[in-house]
Amino acid sequence: MQDACPTLGGFGDGELHWGTTSVADALAILLELDAQGDAVRLEWAEGQRLELPRRVDLEHLKLRVGKGPKWFELDVSLQIDEHAVLQFRDLLRAREGTRFVALPRGRFLALSDELRARLDGLEAIGEAHGKTLAVASALLPMVEDLAADVPGASFDDATRQRLARLREIQTLEPRMPRGFAATLRPYQRDGFVWLARLGEAGLGACLADDMGLGKTVQALALLAHRAKQGPALVVCPTSVVLNWVAEAARFAPTLRIVPLATAEDRAAAVRDAGPRDVVVCSYTLLGAEIETLAAARFATAVFDEAHALKNPRTQRATAARRIDADFRLGLTGTPLENHLGELWSLFATLVPGLLGAQTDFDRRFAAPIAAGARESANRLRALLRPFMLRRLKSAVLDELPARTEITLRIAPNPEQRAFYEAVRRRAVEHMAALDQKKKRLGVLAEITKLRQAAIDPRVLDAAAPKGAKLDVLFERLGELRAEGHRALVFTQFLGSLAAVRERLVADGYEFFELDGSTPAAVRAKRIDAFQAGEADVFLLSLRAGGQGVNLTGADYVFHLDPWWNPAVEDQATDRAHRIGQSRPVTVYRLVTEGTIEEKILALHGTKREMAEDLLTGMERGEGLDFEQLMGLLDG
């Protein structure tokens, strides 16, 4: 009997006794027992009899789709019988578990697997709006898929016309823009076609190609392709504004680039922009000039390094959502760094309405995925798939040279070990004395001190003893200089930048330096000089030098201190390991044994899995919580 009734078998608490307090489980058991026919007789000892659920399937689903003023409106209901109709909103409230729906007077409906999947899919893409379900226009093809084979589905004329147009666009084969001066690689050509189709549909996109695969040149091809439709806006970090100006002049000379920062009259520059004009501004300037920019209408808006929009409450993210553009494109090699909420913020700008309101996204996706819900992860991936394109270097660049990654574990000298342990103990004592409301900021501050002490105690305290890491770094740099190799050195703290700089000067190295305070024009000159063969070493801060830079003149990369998420380090590494690199690239991560650096390195596996899950399984979605942060202070 237990083989024929598998649900029943899971609730045995005696040789011939089973029990459950779940209505949904009880109904499932009842259906399994009923399927046994005369082999099973049901008797009710006392109380109200549990009625056998009525089975309903796709034939009972009614779905009417119409074009509203801002979105598509879905009227969804279940036709129970000739006189009873259950509206979608009431249906959701009355569900017991995933399969059953409670009706008045103790009755229940049992949803078929196919009907349940369609209802779950509709819930995932729509938001309740009065009696109807509001769905973003970007999701209309998904609505059509969910309505397939539903006898009671209907579409109004405007919706049918929109679907017909979308089908035409799917076969669009755009020509390369006349005068475009770059020859796209096959995967770049595919990316351009994909972008052009979404642009023609008036939707949005995230080009999430691996770092170093030429996202900028694909975006420039799109801007040239759409140039006649009206002005465009490019928003990027301050550090890469000049790179956009230079790349556009090189590959898309038919475009007229308007750097907003240097415009004599910014309002006029935006107001007068027309076809073939591309206004380029930094994220900082986006916030400062948002009233001017929001008053304009752009044919295309490109957000480079779009992970800058991952926090929805920042000024830049709020401003980006106000930009009026027919097509919005995000470029980022790291669409997800820490948690799924970053995805919501990104797509709230690129494809408004795709993921619903933030509270609904948290309820439908973020919380269930963090708890391991595969169905929620699959639904989220299905929502994102039409609007996100990502190719890995390993899959599309056969000619890219090898990349070797080596972790150098460095034993601290006794003085450094004692200093580090003293800092750690003080951190634990300080956290124990802090008010609960101040603990999160407090632990981040203490972690920063430990990270600095792990690099070299003198980064934290000039009077502290010398550490061992810089000796190992310069031992390697000396060997490389003697062999004619050149290196990038990344670190995250001004103190460690200063310490490395002092040692480079003392040892007679020719070097360039770049951090967040480096003016854009100086930055560009130093990069060009390094690429031309000047200097042995380029010293960079991780954030300022980890994006928008081509430094293929180096074939060795050193990470002096590990960052939480390996994707950020990978992006920095790919300044050297990218198109144009002809030599194998070796990457060194320097980690001081017995310190917080080892624990951060251990987090890399989790963070890398999370980023990969976004594009494949997406089973994990959590960031670093307070307990994880506190755990980093342990000895």
Write the DSSP symbol of residue 129. E
What's the pLDDT score for residue 34?
A: 60
Digit-coded pLDDT (tens) for 352-387: 888 888 888 888 888 888 777 777 888 888 888 888
Higher pLDDT, 563 or 52: 563
CATH superfamily of 172-395: Tandem AAA-ATPase domain (3.40.50.10810)
pLDDT interval class at 297 (50, 70, 90): very high
pLDDT at 534 over 80: yes
| Mean pLDDT within 431-450 | 75
% of the chain exceeding 90 in pLDDT? 25
% of the chain exceeding 70 in pLDDT? 82
Higher pLDDT, 633 or 370: 370
Q: Provide the mean pLDDT of the chain.
A: 82
pLDDT interval class at 287 (50, 70, 90): very high
What's the pLDDT score for residue 620?
A: 33
What's the pLDDT score for residue 260?
A: 93
Asked if 136 contacts 68 with a C-beta cutoff of 8 angstroms, the reply is: no
Say what angle helices 241-251 and 520-531 make with each other, to 10 degrees.
60
Instruction: Lowest mean pLDDT of 76-80, 137-141, 629-633, name the range.
Output: 629-633
Sequence-distant (6+) residues with CB within 8 A of 621 are: 339, 340, 365, 366, 369, 370, 377, 610, 613
| Mean pLDDT within 521-538 | 89
**Residue 624 burial (10 A CB sphere; 0-12, 13-18, 19+):** middle
Number of H helices, E strands in the chain: 28, 25
What is the residue whose two structure tokens read 């569900």? Answer: 95
What's the pLDDT score for residue 221?
A: 96
Give me the residue spans of the domains in the chain.
6-52, 55-168, 172-395, 399-631
Instruction: Quote the pTM value.
Output: 0.71
pLDDT at 538 over 90: yes
Higher pLDDT, 169 or 617: 169
pLDDT at 395 over 60: yes
Q: Do 172-395 and 399-631 agree at the fold level?
A: yes
pLDDT interval class at 617 (50, 70, 90): very low
What's the pLDDT score for residue 97?
A: 64
End-to-end CA distance of the chain: 55
What's the pLDDT score for residue 623?
A: 42
CATH code, residues 399-631: 3.40.50.300
Asked if 202 contacts 326 with a C-beta cutoff of 8 angstroms, the reply is: yes
Highest mean pLDDT among 274-278, 625-629, 631-635: 274-278
Digit-coded pLDDT (tens) for 102-141: 777 667 777 788 888 888 888 888 877 777 888 888 888 8
Long-range contacts of 360-364 (CB under 8 A, 24+ apart): 360/127, 364/123, 364/124
Instruction: Lowest mean pLDDT of 5-9, 378-382, 483-487, 528-532, name the range.
Output: 5-9
What's the pLDDT score for residue 619?
A: 27
Digit-coded pLDDT (tens) for 312-330: 889 999 999 999 999 999 9
Digit-coded pLDDT (tens) for 37-74: 655 666 666 666 666 667 878 888 888 888 877 788 88
